[in-house]
């Protein structure tokens, strides 16, 4: 028996996601292999991840996030903003929302599709690893600072770090950061996608906080990613404690359709 899936494609600074409305009684659940197939850029729709918007008691909606390999993923900042945009387009929310995600409760503010503010979880612990600071901003991230004029291979270096002995159990996302006068450049290798992505929201948050600690950047921090600009606001409560963290950027519908398989 074949399945037919109605989908919407969204992107946030180039991080692209297959969005599915999973609230209806007729929604057919997807297996890990089916999700991986839909995310495949040659044989499926293509996407860095797949998000199913579901009902959840006490919240406007639930963000059920899956990596492109089909496995359930940890929090995705760009995916979170895209889910907020999706919920707005579906008429579920207006300008403010409280929803549930893989790392718990989140608030968000929808200004327009170019400006969506997503509140992230507080950060209380930062570890100093051999290659740079390591922290969990909803997903685990290692920050590796590079000089402005450095030439490097994001894919090769990121993959080597992601699979080295330190991180091989759970894996980590790897963010290479260049410091400029008034902004940071962020290049990310993402676990689950197992490739370089155009942008990573939780990675940009981690990079902005690292830029504050090690380079004196004050809030808000502007980050240039391959897919566009993100801004990170935060309050610093101690050397390793941050709260009221907000990630701001776009969340745009690209196209919609249906696929049978």
SS (H, E, C) 97-154: EEEEECCEEEEEEEEECCEEEEECCCECCCEECCCCEEEECCCEEEEEEECCCCCCCH
What pLDDT is stored for residue 239 in this prediction?
A: 81
Q: Provide the domain limits for residue 137.
A: 127-244
Regarding whether 71 and 150 lie in a shared domain, the answer is no
Regarding whether 184 and 144 lie in a shared domain, the answer is yes
Which contacts of 227-233 are long-range, i.e. CB under 8 A and separated by 24 or more positions? 227/11, 227/12, 227/13, 227/14, 227/15, 227/197, 227/198, 227/199, 228/13, 228/14, 228/198, 228/199, 229/13, 230/13, 230/199, 230/201, 230/204, 232/204, 232/205, 232/208
Q: What is the DSSP string of 13-71?
A: TTEEEEEEE--STTPPP--HHHHHHHH-TTTSS--SEEEEEE--TTSS-EEEEEETTSS
CA distance 170 to 140: 9
Q: Answer yes or no: 82 catalytic.
A: no
Regarding whether 240 and 131 lie in a shared domain, the answer is yes
Residue 125 binned pLDDT confidence (cut-offs 50, 70, 90)? very high
pLDDT of 18 higher than 90: yes
Regarding whether 116 and 9 lie in a shared domain, the answer is yes
Regarding whether 63 and 98 lie in a shared domain, the answer is yes
Regarding whether 186 and 157 lie in a shared domain, the answer is yes
What pLDDT is stored for residue 137 in this prediction?
A: 97
Structural contact between residues 129 and 142, judged by C-beta atoms closer than 8 angstroms: yes
- Tens digit of pLDDT for each residue in 216-254? 999 999 999 999 999 999 999 988 899 999 999 999 999
Q: Answer yes or no: 39 catalytic.
A: no
Residue 177 binned pLDDT confidence (cut-offs 50, 70, 90)? very high
How many distinct structural domains can be found in the chain?
Answer: 2
Q: What is the CATH number of the domain that holds 57?
A: 3.10.310.10
Regarding whether 189 and 141 lie in a shared domain, the answer is yes
Q: Which of 200, 206, 211, 232 is catalytic?
A: 200
Q: Which of 76, 135, 206, 247 is catalytic?
A: 76
Regarding whether 68 and 51 lie in a shared domain, the answer is yes
Residue 25 binned pLDDT confidence (cut-offs 50, 70, 90)? confident
For residue 182, what are the contacts with CB-CB under 8 A and spacing of at least 6? 222
Regarding whether 108 and 9 lie in a shared domain, the answer is yes
Regarding whether 196 and 105 lie in a shared domain, the answer is no
Regarding whether 237 and 154 lie in a shared domain, the answer is yes
> What letter would DSSP give residue 80?
H
Structural contact between residues 76 and 69, judged by C-beta atoms closer than 8 angstroms: no
């Amino acid at each position: 028996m074949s399945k037919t899936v109605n989908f919407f494609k969204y992107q946030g600074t180039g991080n692209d996601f297959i969005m599915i409305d999973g609230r209806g009684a007729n929604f057919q659940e997807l297996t890990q292999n089916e999700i991986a197939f839909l995310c495949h850029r040659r044989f499926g729709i293509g996407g860095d991840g797949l998000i199913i918007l579901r009902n959840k008691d006490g919240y406007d909606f639930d963000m059920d996030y899956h990596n492109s390999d089909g496995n359930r993923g940890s929090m995705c900042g760009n995916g979170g903003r895209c889910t907020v945009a999706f919920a707005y387009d579906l008429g579920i929310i207006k300008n403010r929302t409280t929803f549930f995600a893989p790392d718990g409760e989140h608030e968000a503010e929808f200004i327009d599709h170019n400006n969506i503010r997503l509140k992230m979880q507080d950060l209380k612990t930062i570890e100093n690893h051999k290659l740079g600071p390591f922290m969990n901003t909803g997903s685990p991230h290692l920050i590796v600072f590079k000089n402005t004029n450095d030439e490097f291979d994001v894919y090769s270096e990121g993959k080597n770090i992601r699979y080295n002995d330190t991180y091989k159990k759970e894996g980590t996302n790897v963010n290479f950061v260049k410091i400029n006068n008034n902004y940071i450049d962020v290049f990310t290798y993402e676990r689950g996608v197992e490739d370089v992505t155009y942008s990573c929201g939780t990675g940009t948050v981690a990079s902005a906080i690292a830029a504050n600690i090690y380079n004196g950047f004050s809030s808000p921090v502007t980050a240039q990613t391959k897919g566009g600009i993100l801004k990170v606001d935060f309050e610093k409560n101690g050397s390793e404690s941050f709260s009221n963290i907000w990630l701001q950027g776009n969340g745009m519908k690209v196209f919609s359709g249906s696929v049978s398989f």
